[in-house]
Structure 1
Amino acid sequence: MKQVAIWGGASGLGAAMVEHYHHHGYQVFVIARNPDNNPAIAELGISSFKCDATDLYQVMSTVEALPSSVQHISTMGSFQAQVAVDYIGHRHLVDALEHFGHTRLLLVTSLGCGDSWQYLSERARKGFGAAVREKSLAEAWLQSSALDYTILRPGGLKNGPATQGGQLSQHSEVHGVITRGEVARLSEYLLMTPESIGEVYQCVEPGMSY
């Protein structure tokens, strides 16, 4: 059975990832600060770990407890949180994965990160620019690691299932929105595609509005 560990699986995009991978036959491990925030974890009988990713010891202990063959996806984020997990949490995660010999990580950030910062409007930079900069630092830490990584930058997220209409692109300016279920579907495609290793993608669904 294919295995996937989903970091940040207690809410939002992470919760959508949990349901997608579970219903597509994966053995899922959920890692979150408060797994109980996602009732589906217990309802579906999914293994979970309580872990504050800003604490290196907790991250190390959690990764050590996971099978070394598991593939990892991180949707961790902390918009307006007192202690942002976006950079430091992912730095801890990358370091722990390298230390314990895990190899595959798909990191989900957002449009505006890295070289797509130039396409963010001034309003967006003021509204959530700090979180985007934290996520950009996480991307840079991952890209300088020895892991087989893929980075996925979705547009604005809205609730909803996979639509089959999301589009992946690279090295171009894009704007738009996409459902959380569709991001989950695209993440599985990338996770299973060897050519995605070492690459950065963005995804939106053309024609979709909030």
Structure 2
Amino acid sequence: MKKVAIFGAAGALGAALVEFFYEKGFIVIGIARDPSKNSRLSELKIQTLTCDATIQAEVQTAISQLSTDTWIISAMGSFNADVPVDYIGHRHLINALEKTNINRFLMITSLGCGDSWEYLSDRSKSAFGSVVREKSLAESWLQSSHLDFTILRPGGLMSGDTTGNAELSQGVEVHGLINRSDVAKLAHQLLENKDSIGKIYECIDPTVTYPVSN
């Protein structure tokens, strides 16, 4: 049975990843600063590890408890965090993985990172540009590692069931939204595909729109 460890398992995107891979029959390990924030982890009797990724020793301890055949997914983010995890947390994670035989790693960042920064609107740069820049640094750190990595940059994240209409793209300007459940589905698709190793993908769903307010 395949194993997947999800960093950021207590967040909204992490929770969607947990649900998807659990339903696919994976052995799921949920890793978060406070796993209790996702009640589904205990309801599904999923193994959890408590880890503040901004603390190097805690990351090393968490990684030491995983078998070498485990897929690693990071959905870590700094929403409402006192200390941003986007760069330093991923740096600690990547460094820890490089000291093991765990190689397959998928990092989920966002549109606007790296070479897609030029496509981010001035309004978005002003609102959350600092977070995007931190994530971009994490991408660069990962790209210089020896891990079998894939980077996935989703558009605006929404709640909702999988639509099946999400689209992957590379190196082109895209804007839009996507349900977290579809990001999870694409993450699985990319991890299964060896051709995605060393690649960066953007993803949106043209059928997902913001709810119309009355």
For Structure 1 versus Structure 2, the TM-score category normalised by the shorter chain is: over 0.9
Aligned to 1:31: 31
Q: Is the 8 A contact 1:111 1:155 kept in 2?
A: yes
Q: CA deviation at 1:80?
A: 4.7
Aligned to 2:57: 57
Aligned to 2:14: 14
Verify: 1:159 aligned to 2:159, yes or no.
yes
- Provide the rounded CA distance (Å) in 1 between the counterparts of 2:161 and 2:35: 22
SS of aligned partner of 2:139:
helix
Aligned to 1:192: 192
Q: How does 1:69-88 map to 2 (within 5 A)?
A: 69-88=69-88
Aligned to 2:137: 137
- Provide the rounded CA distance (Å) in 2 between the counterparts of 1:102 and 1:189: 19
Q: Is the 8 A contact 2:179 2:208 kept in 1?
A: no
Q: Is the 8 A contact 2:165 2:207 kept in 1?
A: no
Aligned to 2:116: 116
Q: CA deviation at 1:207?
A: 3.2
Q: CA deviation at 1:11?
A: 1.8
Aligned partner of 1:52: which letter?
D
Aligned partner of 2:152: which letter?
L
Aligned to 1:146: 146
What's the CA shift string for 1:90-148, capped at 9, x where partnerless? 00000001112210100000000000000000000000000000000000000000000
Aligned to 2:106: 106
- Provide the rounded CA distance (Å) in 1 between the counterparts of 2:183 and 2:72: 15
Root-mean-square deviation (CA, aligned residues, Å) is 0.7
- Provide the rounded CA distance (Å) in 2 between the counterparts of 1:81 and 1:32: 12
SS of aligned partner of 1:67:
coil
- Provide the rounded CA distance (Å) in 2 between the counterparts of 1:38 and 1:125: 30
Q: Is the 8 A contact 2:150 2:197 kept in 1?
A: yes
- Provide the rounded CA distance (Å) in 2 between the counterparts of 1:163 and 1:5: 25
Aligned partner of 2:102: which letter?
H
SS of aligned partner of 1:53:
coil
Aligned partner of 1:148: which letter?
D
Q: Is the 8 A contact 1:79 1:131 kept in 2?
A: no
The percentage of aligned residue pairs carrying the same residue is: 53
Q: CA deviation at 1:81?
A: 2.5
Verify: 1:92 aligned to 2:92, yes or no.
yes
Q: Is the 8 A contact 1:154 1:203 kept in 2?
A: yes
- Provide the rounded CA distance (Å) in 1 between the counterparts of 2:132 and 2:58: 25
SS of aligned partner of 1:63:
helix
Q: Is the 8 A contact 1:150 1:198 kept in 2?
A: yes
- Provide the rounded CA distance (Å) in 2 between the counterparts of 1:161 and 1:95: 35
Aligned partner of 2:198: which letter?
G
Aligned partner of 2:147: which letter?
L
Gaps of 5+ in 1: none
Q: Is the 8 A contact 2:10 2:35 kept in 1?
A: yes
Runs (4+) of structure 1 exceeding 3 A deviation are none
What's the CA shift string for 1:32-82, capped at 9, x where partnerless? 000000010011010000000000000001100111110100000003532
Q: CA deviation at 1:162?
A: 1.3
Query: How many residue pairs are counted as aligned between the two chains?
Result: 210
